[in-house]
Structure 1
Amino acid sequence: MHHDNWQCPKCHHEQFEVGEFRATGGRLAKMFDVQNKKFSTVTCSHCSYTEIYRSSSSTLGNVFDIFLGG
């Protein structure tokens, strides 16, 4: 994916991939209160630098609207 408003903070590449994952179980998850939490990711297509954002299922679009100027 490419958008003029996003640029990798590490290598300044403008292409990226978006994704999501859920964190469940384990002591660290309980300690940091991320058990069963949903996260959205933006990963640079060039260097693989990844930014992670905690989100709800309806927030994924909002996260990308902020970064893509929507």
Structure 2
Amino acid sequence: MNASTAWRVPSPAEIPGLSYDALVEHLRLSKVNVGHYQSVVSALQEELAKRSPTNAYRCTKCGHTEYQVGAIRTARSGWSSFFGVETAQYHAIICAHCKYTEFYQGKVPPGQQALDFLFGS
């Protein structure tokens, strides 16, 4: 989101054109600014659910429809690796039949990164 659209509530027609990160940010803002987002919260949630990799899941390798979900966290750069701060998170969707695995990028919250730095990963 750029500075001109950062605080503007999207209209229902604009929601399908938003990036994944913008959808997540607007949902976060909807918890803080309940009154402003009241008319579009359900549309934001529905759009996010449509984009889920597990929505109508079918393994691209064997065609099976059952899956398991996992996650991994890794360090992205030399410094974060040196200090034991895991700054990258990936969600794994694993086929229950053939174990073919797809990874989707996520985010590690800054608070968790701080805890990693203080206590090690």
TM-score normalised according to structure 1 size? 0.58
**Cα shift at 1:49:** 0.4
Percent same amino acid among aligned pairs? 29
Contact 1:43–1:51, Cα closer than 8 Å, also in 2 = yes
Could you say if the C-alpha distance between residues 7 and 18 of structure 1 is closer, same or farther in structure 2, counting changes exceeding 3 Å?
same
1:13 pairs, out of 61, 64, 77, with 64
| 1:56 matched to 2:107 | yes
Distance in 1 of aligned mates of 2:60 and 2:71: 20
The AA in structure 2 aligned to 1:6 is Y
Residue equivalent to 1:43: 94
Q: Secondary structure in 2 aligned to 1:9?
A: coil
Q: Secondary structure in 2 aligned to 1:13?
A: coil
Distance in 2 of aligned mates of 1:55 and 1:4: 17
Distance in 2 of aligned mates of 1:48 and 1:10: 10
The AA in structure 2 aligned to 1:42 is I
Rg larger for: 2
How well do the aligned residues superpose, as a CA RMSD in angstroms? 2.5
Identify the structure with the greater strand proportion.
Answer: 1
Residue equivalent to 2:35: none
Contact 1:18–1:40, Cα closer than 8 Å, also in 2 = yes
2:74 pairs, out of 23, 36, 42, with 23
TM-score normalised according to structure 2 size? 0.35
In structure 1, runs of 5+ residues without a counterpart are 59-70
Number of corresponding residues: 49
In structure 2, runs of 5+ residues without a counterpart are 1-53, 79-85, 110-121
